[in-house]
Amino acid sequence: MKCIILCAGYATRLYPITLDQPKPLLPIAGRPIIEHIIAKVEKVDSVDEIFVVTNDKFYDSFRKWKLSFSSQKPIKIVNDRTKTEEKRLGAIGDMHFVMQSEKISDDIMVIAGDNLFDFSLAALEQLFLEKKTSSIALYDILDGSLAAKKYGVVETGKDGSIKALEEKPESPKTTLVSTACYIFSRKDMALMEKCIKENSKPDNLGDFIKYLIKNSTVFGHVFRETWFDIGSREQLKQADIVWSSRK
């Protein structure tokens, strides 16, 4: 299994902090966000290589970071060659770019580079191995109203399979949200080309999940450990407080 960490965004909502520094390299408790992610990935036995996909603007930043970082698994920095927010490939585009450029045909773990979480990726891996089909990590926000409107809200069946996903709904039907941590089977990855063609360059991974729901089977692993989707200065500050308190 390969792991792709998506780090090709321009994080314009965090300007000026991210004007010259990519969001995944922002420090949380003294370590870049991406290092917290990699520490989780290193515990997944199936993963034998990590690909960090970024853009041309921040390629050198990640290359320099990698020179001073030691990982238990091989890491390769991939430049998607985009230079501006307007030209970005989007999450699906970057996944597809890495798969094509690196000639990957394995199962794929995909994680957004601004995800900070406590739950075990090994548990997601176990679900994937048991079900033998694509699996995604779900977070139960419990309150169900305002917070859910910010994310992709998921409905599941009694067997844990994903029945529906709705992006930022006005009236969320459940308290389960997608966390941008996925494992896609090589069988389902073969459907990505069709998804791209049929949906006129889909952007976020929720689009691919919705496509898989119609054309395959996807399961969800629900967790309640701490999770931050770093999308604002407030979330960045709060995450730093929480993680720093554990030192």
Summarize pLDDT for 8-37 with one digit per residue, the tens. Answer: 998 888 888 888 899 999 999 999 999 999
Per-residue confidence band for 144, with pLDDT thresholds at 50, 70 and 90: low
Specify the CATH number for 136-225; select among 3.10.290.10, 2.40.50.140, 4.10.410.60, 3.90.550.10.
Answer: 3.90.550.10
pLDDT of residue 196: 83
Q: Inform me whether the pLDDT recorded for 202 exceeds 70.
A: no
Summarize pLDDT for 212-242 with one digit per residue, the tens. Answer: 998 889 999 998 888 988 888 888 999 999 9
Summarize pLDDT for 39-69 with one digit per residue, the tens. Answer: 999 999 999 999 999 999 999 999 999 999 9
pLDDT of residue 145: 54
Question: Cα 213 to the chain's mean position, in Å?
Answer: 18
pLDDT of residue 17: 87
Q: Give the C-alpha distances (Å, rounded to integers) separating 19 from 24, 52, 59, 203, 224.
A: 13, 20, 14, 22, 33
Q: Inform me whether the pLDDT recorded for 199 exceeds 90.
A: no
pLDDT of residue 148: 59
SS3 120: coil
CA distance 197 to 193: 6
Position 212, amino acid: L
Phi-psi region of 206 (alpha: psi -120 to 50; beta: other; left: phi over 0): alpha
Q: Please report, for the chain, the start and end positions of each structural domain, with discontinuous segments joined by +.
A: 1-118+226-247, 136-225
The reply to whether 136-225 shares the fold of 1-118+226-247 is yes
CA atoms within a 13 Å half-sphere pointing along the CA-CB vector of 19 = 3
Write out the CATH class of domain 1-118+226-247. alpha beta
Position 44, amino acid: V
CA distance 122 to 126: 6
How many other C-beta atoms can be found within 10 angstroms of the C-beta atom of residue 194? 11
Q: Inform me whether the pLDDT recorded for 93 exceeds 80.
A: yes
Average pLDDT of the residues of the chain:
89
pLDDT of residue 201: 63
SS3 93: helix
Question: pTM, whole model, 2 decimals?
Answer: 0.93
